[in-house]
Amino acid sequence: MTDPRRTEQVHPQYTNLDTLPTTELVQAFADDQLNAIQAVRQAAPAIAAAIDAAFPRLERGGRIVYAGAGTSGRLGVLDATELTPTFSWPAERAVPLIAGGERAIRQAVEGAEDSFDLGVTDVRGANVGPDDILIGVAASGTTPYVLGTLQAAREAGALTIALANNPGAPLLAAAQCAILLDTGPEIISGSTRLKAGTAQKITLNTLSSALMVRLGKVYGNLMVDVKATNTKLEGRAVRLVQHATGTNEDTARQALNEADGSVKTAIVMLELSLRADEADRLLEKHAGHARAALEDSP
């Protein structure tokens, strides 16, 4: 019997994949991945609607909760983990739930993704509430664990967003914001870590990054809430301040030192000739939005 899910069907174009020379094999993988980009582009209106629905809840202090199994769950863990160093987003406000727990990040946990009740339990254990958003991710769109997380999150009053790679998937019907990433059959039949996973990663990056822009974590297109936790990021912080203010390296470093490493505070200090505490108060007045603070010169 043929599985109706497009992600599980055999790709008709690559039936001789195992006979291709290495160069052609690489080209085939690269070409097929282009379909992931196209799927995300087609889903752009749904992605934008999800961002607009999620933004007010995060403004009120809510959390981004990710839920998935296997590759989809690991992509959620990755996106959650990267928000803190990239945008200084509090780690406790990015909560990844993966079927089977932390052990499942590195190895398969048999049966975990097949448990609807485990999804419900994990959401309740995370104390998901009305100001939170839950992003459920499953290529098949049928994973019981993720369906359980969506149901529990909706019952708790959270906003639910679903990413799935098959039209008509139950996951999409279970969420308030449904995002279909129709990537079709995989070049290696059923291996949804390929273009289905790529489309999921692009979409998660887009969702979280756009929300961070709306929340004032970006000035222009500068990553002004970067958390400088190593030498590379310290250098990046200096360059960001220089770019935004037109100052030299020494001036930028001095401002960053006085601003306790905060790029946006250093920018406001230099642009408005303020002390660090004055710049911080002005930023606080404008909910951390550097542009609004700069346009409100005291």
The pLDDT, as a whole number, for residue 237 is 93
Q: Give me the CATH number covering residue 244.
A: 1.10.8.1080
Range of the domain at 143: 6-214
The reported pTM is 0.91
Residues 182 and 141 in one domain: yes
Residues 131 and 39 in one domain: yes
Among 24, 59, 102, 113, the one annotated catalytic:
113
Residues 30 and 101 in one domain: yes
Boundary residue ending a domain (214, 243, 270):
214
Instruction: Give the Cα separation of 118 and 120 in Å (integer).
Output: 5
3-class SS at 177? strand
For residue 253, tell me if it sits in a domain. yes
Tokens of 192: 């949804």
The pLDDT, as a whole number, for residue 106 is 81
For the question of residue 113 being annotated catalytic, the response is yes
Instruction: Give the Cα separation of 144 and 225 in Å (integer).
Output: 37
Sign, CA dihedral 190-170-160-184, equals positive
For residue 221, tell me if it sits in a domain. no
Among 59, 82, 258, 278, the one annotated catalytic:
82
For the question of residue 82 being annotated catalytic, the response is yes
Would you write out the chain's pLDDT as a tens digit for each of its 298 residues?
567 776 666 676 788 888 999 999 999 999 999 999 999 999 999 999 999 999 999 999 999 999 999 999 999 999 999 999 899 999 999 999 999 988 888 877 767 888 999 999 999 999 999 999 999 999 999 999 999 999 999 999 999 999 999 999 999 999 999 999 999 999 998 788 899 999 999 999 999 999 999 999 999 999 999 877 788 888 999 999 999 999 999 999 999 999 999 999 999 999 999 999 999 999 999 999 999 999 986 5
Residues 138 and 268 in one domain: no
Q: Give me the CATH number covering residue 181.
A: 3.40.50.10490
The pLDDT, as a whole number, for residue 9 is 63
Q: Please, which residues have CB within 8 angstroms of residue 114's CB and are 6 or more apart in sequence? A: 144, 145
Instruction: Give the Cα separation of 204 and 173 in Å (integer).
Output: 19
Instruction: Give the Cα separation of 229 and 219 in Å (integer).
Output: 20
Looking up tokens 């949804």, which residue turns up?
192
Number of domains present in the structure of the chain: 2
Q: By C-alpha distance, which of 178, 171, 111 is closest to 141?
A: 171
Boundary residue ending a domain (214, 249, 274):
214
- Is 140 exposed, middle or buried, given 0-12, 13-18 or 19+ CB atoms closer than 10 A? buried
Residues 197 and 256 in one domain: no
Residues 249 and 104 in one domain: no
